[in-house]
Structures are given as C-alpha cells and as structure tokens.
Copies of this chain bind each other. A is one copy, B any other.
C-alpha cells in the first residue's frame, strides 16, 4: 500500500515555511508498514487542490491531507476532496450545535463562516479533534474502480499529531496485513560517511529484509535499521543481528547503540565512573556547556565552567598565566593545556575540558597573527595528566564552532572508555 501526503497551505510555497507534518506522518505510516510514495505541497486554490487530489487518488492507495480544514475562505480541503472524488458534502447538525456551544461559552456570536467546519464528505467517519474546532475525516471509498482511503487532518501539529495517533493509525493498521516493526540505531562521531559505508555495507547488505539508512549530520553518522516481520520477536532479532555484526566491525567507533546522543553518552559515562566535568570555552563561547546542559539531569555531572572569550578572563577564571597567552597566543597548545588544568582546579571537577581556536571569519590577531581560521586546540585534564589535541577544521564560523564542541565531546568519551 502506497500513501500520498498532500499539505495544503500557500505559506508552504514561500521561502519561509516548510511542511513538517509529513515527517511525523511518514514515521507513523512506516510503523504500520505503509510507505509514502509521494508528497505534494499545494496552495489555497480550489482548482490546484482539486487537481492535486485527483492525481493522488490515481496513484496512491491512501491519500492524507493536512491543513485547510479551518473556517476561512482559504480553507478548501473539504471542497477539493469532494470535487476530486465526485462526492457531495453534507452539513452535520451535531457539529454545528457543538460549534455554537463553543462560541456561546466564550460569549462571542459565531461568524457564519465557521459552519463550513461541519461539512462532511458523504460516507466519511468523523475524527473528533480534542485540540481544535475542525474535526478530521476518514473515508473508505473507491476511485475509478480502485479501493482508496482518504483522510483529512487539521494542519496545526498539536491537533494533527494526537488525532493521527489515536484515530487514524489504528484504522489504517486494521486495513493492513498484521506486521510488527523493530528499529535500531547506531551512531558514530567524526568518521567520514564513505569510511562508514565501505566498512559496513558488506555487512548490512547481507540483511536484505532489514532496511538500512545511513544519515550524515554535522560530525555524526547514524545507521538506522528497520525490519518488519509477522511477530515483534522476529523483527527485533533481525535488527539486533545486523546491529551486533556492525558493532563487531566498528567497535569503539560506535558511541551509541540505542540512539542516545553524544552528549547523553558522555554524561552517562561520567555518572558510571562517579566523575564530574567543568569546561573553559573560548572560541565555542558556551556551545559545549549549552549542549551538555540541554540534557535533563546534567547538573549531577556537569558543574559548569567559564566562557573565557577575552584574554583577561582566561587568567581570572582559569588561572592561565598572562605571559603564556602573550608568548604563545590565546590559540595555542599551551593555553589549551593551562585552561583545562585551570578550570579543573578552580571548580574542583574530576575532569577539565578546554576549547580555544580561531572560528573566523577573520584569521588570528595579536599574538595569534599568522594562525589560520579553523585552528582549534582541545585540552582535557584529569588526575592522570593533560592531553591537548590540535585540529584544523574546515568551513565557516558556525561549522568550526560545532565541530570543535563535537571533537571535545568525542575526546571526552574516548578518554573514559
């Protein structure tokens, strides 16, 4: 069974807004074994929307509309679906009564336009919307002799998501052969995608019944495995088998075997080893601390630290001797070392981590003259001593800052292995 998702709304045809509902709907459809074959984004025009609906009914078994169910004249999904299917809309009295009640409670007269939210496709089942005034609709019908399922959903994600999960997904699942889906995810940091692919594809290609997707994000590679089987046990066994074979190949390069983020893994390892961490950040300006503290519960292992953007703060907050900064430059092995050791000592943390570098757009100045954009030093100090790593990161300011923080997290993880 193939589904098509039609997102209705002129705002999604501007450079400013994107359809995101379809990602959520796709994940939910995949869960029950339904693939998405097409996505169409169309503006608030009855002609365009009706044409898009007709195309979808010709090529997809399931057509899901999101948006265009509100009360304004731009809300045309009901009319377009009816026109494409050759069905009439009838006005539901119960919904009208409920709408009048809603407005009466707020002591506002109901604008006449609102009544169109009560228009139902002939034969459709109403889907009550707990978070808004427009109900969804679910219709099993035929189009040019073929069985079709048509679903109308409200556009706002906080209305669409619960409505889809509670009312649409079970109905669609009932129409599908019974199938259970298992997922696994492995993550690696700072390894080129081509390296991961050349080492893992000979393995995952042996598991033809498992769908493997490789995603490369900033400084991270994710391997997603999905398998559908008649029983959940069978499906789980297959994704576990491929994940284990790949773990065996990639060993410690894998930081996460259940989808945890690198930040979560670092905090988890700190917790298991009863360690605490503090950070002194120069070029990343708080990004590493921000990423760690975004994780709930991080305060148990991450004490905090200093954003030592100016040279004076490198001295006053992390005890870096001014003569080192003057001699070696703030972006140097020596300063990274002193920052990591200094922040560790000042905070009493078990581990001190430091980042200093040239994020650009301008190259090094003052004592750093001649040093290139992208030169970054990561320092890690613990009871056994201090290690400093020198990096040359390509890209712009944002990329250099992100990758510097990513390297610091990965260094911390490898240090604790």
Q: CB within 8 Å of B: which residues of A?
A: 11-18, 20, 23-24, 26-27, 30, 35-43, 45, 48, 51-52, 55, 59, 213, 215, 224, 278-279, 281, 284-290, 292-294, 296, 298-299, 302-310, 312-313, 316-317, 346-348, 360-362, 397-398, 401
Contacts and interface: CB of A to CB of B under 8 A. Distances in A.
Nearest to A226: B14
Contacts of A38: 13, 40-43, 48, 52
A76 to B, nearest CB: 15
Nearest to A347: B313
Contacts of A307: 279, 286, 289, 293, 304-307
A191 to B, nearest CB: 19
A244 B347 CA distance: 51
A13 B279 CA distance: 40
Most-contacted residue by chain B among A279, A307, A312, A348 (CB, 10 A): A307
Given A51-B59, A213-B14, A285-B289, A397 B296 contact: yes
A15 B11 contact: no
A47 to B, nearest CB: 9
A397 B11 contact: no
A183 to B, nearest CB: 11
A285 B290 contact: yes
Given A13-B26, A24-B15, A30-B15, A304 B294 contact: no
A26 B347 CA distance: 51
Contacts of A309: 289, 293, 298-299, 302-304
Contacts of A42: 37-38
Given A14-B30, A302-B309, A305-B313, 17 more contacts: A13-B39, A16-B23, A17-B215, A37-B48, A38-B40, A38-B41, A285-B289, A285-B290, A286-B286, A286-B287, A286-B293, A296-B361, A304-B307, A304-B310, A304-B313, A304-B317, A310-B347
Complex A-B, nearest 3 residue pairs according to Cβ-Cβ distance, in ascending order? A285-B293, A286-B286, A286-B289
Copies in the complex: 2
B303 A306 contact: no
A188 to B, nearest CB: 16
Contact of A299 (B11, B310, B316): B310
14 contacts: A13-B35, A16-B213, A18-B18, A38-B48, A278-B313, A286-B290, A289-B307, A293-B307, A294-B397, A296-B397, A299-B309, A304-B309, A307-B307, A317-B346
Most-contacted residue by chain B among A14, A17, A215, A224 (CB, 10 A): A14
A273 to B, nearest CB: 18
A36 B13 contact: yes
A303 B312 contact: yes
Contacts of A37: 13, 42-43, 45, 48
A7 to B, nearest CB: 9
A26 B14 contact: yes
Contacts of A288: 286
A304 B312 CA distance: 10
Contacts of A346: 316-317
